[in-house]
A and B are shown apart, each in its own frame.
With several copies, the nearest count.
Chain A
Amino acid sequence: MAPLLEILVAPLRYPFMVRGIVAAILVGIVCALVGTYMVLRGMAFLGDALAHSILPGIAVGYIVSGGGRGPIFWWGLGTGILTALGIGALGKGAQVKEDTAIGIIFSGMFALGIALISTMRSYAVDLSHFLFGDVLGVSPSDLWLTAGLAVLVSVIVFVFYKEFLVLAFDSTLAETLRFPSGFLHYLLMVLIALTIVVALQTVGIALMVAMLTTPAATAYLLTKRMAPMMGIAALIGAVSGIVGLYLSYYVSVASGAAIVLVCTGIFLLALLFSPRRGIVRGWLQSRG
Chain B
Amino acid sequence: GGSTEVGPRAPVPPVSAVGLAPDEPLRVVATTSIVADVVRNVGGDAIALTQLMPLGADPHAFESTPQDAGVISDAHVVFINGVGLEVFMDRLLASAGGNTPVVTVSDGIRLLAFAGEHADDEALADEDHGEDDPHVWFDPNNVKVWVANIESALSELDPDRATTYRENAQAYLAELDALDGWIREAVTVIPEDRRGLVIDHSVFTYFAHAYGFEQVGTITTGGSTLSQPSAREMAALQEAIVDHGVRAIFVSTTVNPRMAEQLARDTGIQVVPIYTGSLSDASGPAGTYLAFMRYDVGRIVEALR
Using a CB–CB cutoff of 8 Å, the interface residues on chain A facing chain B are 11, 14-17, 19-20, 62, 66-67, 114, 117-118, 120-124, 126-129, 131-134, 136-139, 204, 245-246, 248-258
Contact = CB atoms under 8 A, between A and B. Distances in A.
Main secondary structure of the interface of A (DSSP, over half): helix
A243 to B, nearest CB: 12
A122 B229 contact: no
B56 A136 contact: no
Contacts of B260: 137
B275 to A, nearest CB: 12
Nearest to A206: B228
B70 interface: yes
A138 B231 CA distance: 13
A251 B67 CA distance: 9
B284 to A, nearest CB: 13
B122 to A, nearest CB: 16
Which of A126, A131, A258 has the most chain B CB within a 10 Å cutoff? A126
A145 to B, nearest CB: 13
Contact of A254 (B92, B130, B228, B253): B228
B201 to A, nearest CB: 8
Given A20-B231, A136-B69, 11 more contacts: A14-B69, A16-B73, A16-B262, A17-B234, A124-B130, A136-B229, A137-B96, A138-B91, A249-B235, A250-B232, A255-B230
Which of B60, B223, B232, B266 has the most chain A CB within a 10 Å cutoff? B232
Nearest to B74: A14
A123 B230 contact: no
B232 A249 contact: yes
B64 A136 contact: yes
Nearest to B115: A121
B63 to A, nearest CB: 5
A16 B266 contact: yes
Contacts of B115: 121
A123 B56 contact: yes
A254 B61 contact: no
A252 B258 contact: no
B99 to A, nearest CB: 11
B95 A256 contact: no
B56 A17 contact: no
A128 B88 CA distance: 8
B9 interface: no
Given A14-B96, A16-B263, A134-B88, A124 B229 contact: no
B226 interface: yes
A122 B225 contact: no
Contacts of B98: 15-16
Contacts of A245: 66, 231
A138 B256 CA distance: 12
Contact of A137 (B221, B230, B262): B262
Interface string B208-243: 000000000000011111111111111100100000
Contacts of B265: 139
Interface string B125-162: 00111110000000000000000000000000000000
Nearest to B94: A139
Nearest to B96: A16
Nearest to A134: B259
Given A123-B226, A129-B256, A255-B66, A14 B266 contact: yes
Contacts of A120: 222
Contact of A121 (B66, B91, B222, B266): B222
A118 to B, nearest CB: 6
A67 to B, nearest CB: 6
19 contacts: A16-B96, A17-B66, A20-B66, A66-B127, A117-B222, A121-B221, A121-B222, A122-B54, A124-B84, A132-B63, A137-B258, A138-B91, A248-B66, A249-B66, A252-B65, A252-B67, A254-B63, A254-B65, A257-B228
Nearest to A133: B228
A16 B69 contact: yes
A124 B254 contact: yes
Contact of B95 (A11, A138, A253): A138
Given A134-B259, A138-B95, A254-B229, A11 B66 contact: yes
A255 B254 contact: no
A248 B57 contact: no
A123 B58 CA distance: 6
The 6 A-B residue pairs with the shortest CB-CB distance, nearest first, are A123-B224, A137-B91, A121-B54, A137-B259, A128-B61, A252-B232
B256 A126 contact: yes
Given A118-B229, A122-B57, A248-B232, A139 B129 contact: no
Which of A19, A118, A137, A250 has the most chain B CB within a 10 Å cutoff? A137
A123 B231 contact: no
B111 to A, nearest CB: 14
B64 to A, nearest CB: 6
Nearest to A254: B228
A253 B98 CA distance: 23
Given A17-B235, A250-B232, A254-B229, A127 B262 contact: no
A74 B115 CA distance: 30
Contacts of A255: 64-66, 228-231, 234
